């Protein structure tokens, strides 16, 4: 599979692999810190007595063709009535 690879490319692959490993270690450290902070927040007594409601935002639905036609009709009726 990996035969006859030029040495320059092989060196680049090694450097990129080492860089990737370093970044993965940083990501793991960040993940551990996030878990630690989440555990602190969930363990605090203020959050147990007074829970905050969770809000969920949704993506707006696309209007149907029927609604678009109705809107277009209404706009044209408005133009006619203003004239």
Residue 74 banded pLDDT, cuts 50, 70, 90: low
Residue pointed to by tokens 């551990």 = 32
Q: How far apart are CA 17 and CA 11, in angstroms?
A: 10
pLDDT value at position 66?
64
Are 77 and 83 a contacting pair, CB within 8 Å?
Answer: no
Residue pointed to by tokens 């690879």 = 5
Those residues with Cβ within 8 angstroms of residue 71's Cβ, 6 or more apart along the chain or in another chain: 63
Q: Is the pLDDT of residue 9 over 90?
A: yes
Those residues with Cβ within 8 angstroms of residue 63's Cβ, 6 or more apart along the chain or in another chain: 71
Residue that wins the pLDDT comparison between 39 and 63: 39
pLDDT value at position 36?
93
């Amino acid at each position: 599979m990996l035969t006859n690879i030029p040495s320059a490319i092989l060196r680049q692959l090694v450097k990129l692999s080492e860089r990737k490993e370093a970044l993965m270690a940083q990501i793991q450290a960040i993940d551990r810190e996030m878990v630690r902070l989440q555990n602190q927040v969930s363990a605090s007594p203020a959050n147990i007595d007074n829970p905050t409601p969770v809000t969920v935002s949704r993506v707006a639905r696309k209007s149907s063709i029927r609604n678009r036609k109705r809107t277009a009709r209404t706009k044209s009726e408005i133009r006619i009535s203003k004239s």
